[in-house]
Structure 1
Amino acid sequence: MNETIETILEHRSIRSFKDEPLTNEQVHTLVKAAQAASTSSYIQAYSIIGVKDQEKKKKLAQLAGNQSYVEKNGHFFVFCADYNRHHAAAEMHGTSVKETTESTEKFMVGLIDAALAAQNASIAAESMGLGICYIGGIRNDLEEVSDVLQLPDYVVPLFGLCVGYPAQDPNIKPRLPLENIYHVDEYEQNPDAFKEGLRKYDETISAYYSDRTSGERTVGWSSLMAHKLTKPVRTYMKKFLKKKGFPLN
């Protein structure tokens, strides 16, 4: 096993950072690492907003559900799906890409490109001894987030990424068993085998939470998901996307 794989397998989310900002060189290195990720058809349908202004970070922390580590970290990035520059490129050459960028397929390309770029940046950050935490909470109110970041049409903020020097050393959270994730040749549809794997995983996660909370929390993964996913969240999303130029045809 090489150092890269060891870095990946040792990932854990960091939610407490030292009061030490990243240098411009570190930030630029992470952005370059993000840009080195694969991109569909060379479209590069994403942008990264680095947020340094403390008032903006404070506002974003509030919008993300009062998550203090959005405000207090070494650097905060917001990854966006972005076709604004593609519309500009089309104008430069007297054409229109509106019909294409409004499609569900191209919106998915923007999502995937941004996610690949962010994961590259995350692995690079962890290889530098930094910690990271993804922030999906910025999608609680994308209208406000877009105003804070002054985002034009065709640019949608997807998630944030806290990066900084860790002020904590949490345990690695166990992932699902390989047999529940990896299928060979076709999707495994034996419900008994599938649920047995989940039951074993429940025991692992229950022990993990019990150790983490000194016995105050012992919930298993299947129970957590069964209750967590019963109520839809952020149901305004389709309306917001349409307003930003993504009717998803």
Structure 2
Amino acid sequence: MNTTIETILQHRSIRKFEDKPLTDEQIKMIVECAQAASTSSFIQAYSIIGVKNKEKKKRLAELAGNQPYVEDNGHFFIFCADLHRHEHIGEIENTEVKGSIESMEKFIVATIDASLAAQNASIAAESMGLGICYIGGLRNNMEKVAELLEIPSHAIPLFGLAVGYPAQQTDVKPRLPYTNVYHEEVYNTDKGSYQKQLQEYNETISAYYHTRTSGKRSDTWTSQMANMLKEPKRMEMKGFVEKSGLARK
């Protein structure tokens, strides 16, 4: 096992940071590592917005559901699916590109590109001794986030990434069983073995919460997911994405 793999396997979300900003050199290195990620057909369909301003981070924290670590961190990055620059490419090359950049395919490409870049950024930050926490709560109020950040057409904010010096360390949260995630040749649809693996994982997660909270919590993973999924959320997202000029076709 090498240090890169050790860094990846030791990932945990950090939700309390020291009051210490990242340097410009650290920010640049993290972004350059993000840019080194794979990108579909070299399209590079994403942008990253960094936020240092305390008042703006406070507003983003409110929009994300009053999560304090959105405001209190070393630096806050917002990863955007971005095909706005490709509008300019069409103008520069005198080529009609609107049908393509408004397609569902290119929207998927943009979200994948942004996600790959973000994971590269996360691993880079963790390898530098920093902690990270992804913030999907920005999608609670995507339109207001887009207005605050002055995001143009054919681009949307997907999620945030809080980065900073950890003020606390948590245990690594156990992931799903390897055999529940990895399938060879074909997808394993055997209901008995599949659900048995999930039940075993429930026991692992329940024990993890019980230990972490000194017995105050011992819920299972499947109960968490069922409660989360029983009511659809953010149903306005499709309309906002289309309004932004993406996934219209």
Per-residue deviation, 1:213: 1.4
TM-score (norm 1): 0.99
Q: Distance in 2 between matches of 1:118 and 1:95?
A: 30
Per-residue deviation, 1:248: 3.2
Per-residue deviation, 1:96: 1.8
Q: Distance in 2 between matches of 1:172 and 1:97?
A: 45
Where does the alignment leave 5 or more consecutive residues of structure 2 unmatched?
A: none
Q: Deviations over 1:81-125 (max 9, x none)?
A: 001111011101211211001111100000000000000000000
SS at match of 1:80: strand
CA contact (8 A) 1:15 1:69 kept: yes
Q: Distance in 2 between matches of 1:63 and 1:73?
A: 16
Residue identity opposite 1:8 in structure 2 = I
CA contact (8 A) 1:13 1:131 kept: yes
1:223 aligns to what? Answer: 223
Q: Distance in 2 between matches of 1:78 and 1:217?
A: 32
Q: Does residue 1:240 correspond to 2:240, yes or no?
A: yes
Q: Does residue 1:88 correspond to 2:88, yes or no?
A: yes
1:59 aligns to what? Answer: 59
Per-residue deviation, 1:58: 0.3
Residue identity opposite 1:244 in structure 2 = S
Where does the alignment leave 5 or more consecutive residues of structure 1 unmatched?
A: none
1:196 aligns to what? Answer: 196
SS at match of 1:76: strand
Tell me which moved more, 219-228 or 27-36: 219-228
Q: Does residue 1:119 correspond to 2:119, yes or no?
A: yes
SS at match of 2:113: helix
Matches within 5 A, 1:95-114: 95-114=95-114
Residue identity opposite 1:121 in structure 2 = A
Q: Distance in 1 between matches of 2:198 and 2:67?
A: 30
CA contact (8 A) 1:210 1:218 kept: yes
Q: Distance in 2 between matches of 1:106 and 1:150?
A: 22
**Between Structure 1 and Structure 2, how many residues are aligned?**
249
Residue identity opposite 1:27 in structure 2 = I
Q: Distance in 1 between matches of 2:160 and 2:75?
A: 11
SS at match of 1:16: coil
Q: Distance in 1 between matches of 2:52 and 2:177?
A: 39
> Aligned Cα RMSD in Å?
0.6
- Following TM superposition, the consecutive aligned residue runs of length 4 or more in structure 1 with deviations greater than 2 angstroms are none
Q: Distance in 1 between matches of 2:48 and 2:222?
A: 34
Q: Distance in 2 between matches of 1:216 and 1:248?
A: 47
2:74 aligns to what? Answer: 74
1:160 aligns to what? Answer: 160
1:43 aligns to what? Answer: 43
Matches within 5 A, 1:141-160: 141-160=141-160
1:3 aligns to what? Answer: 3
CA contact (8 A) 2:106 2:247 kept: no
Q: Distance in 1 between matches of 2:97 and 2:217?
A: 51
Residue identity opposite 2:244 in structure 1 = K
Q: Distance in 2 between matches of 1:70 and 1:22?
A: 15
CA contact (8 A) 2:105 2:247 kept: no
SS at match of 1:180: helix
Per-residue deviation, 1:247: 3.9
Tell me which moved more, 1-10 or 86-95: 86-95
Q: Distance in 2 between matches of 1:96 and 1:68?
A: 44
Percent identity between the two aligned chains: 61
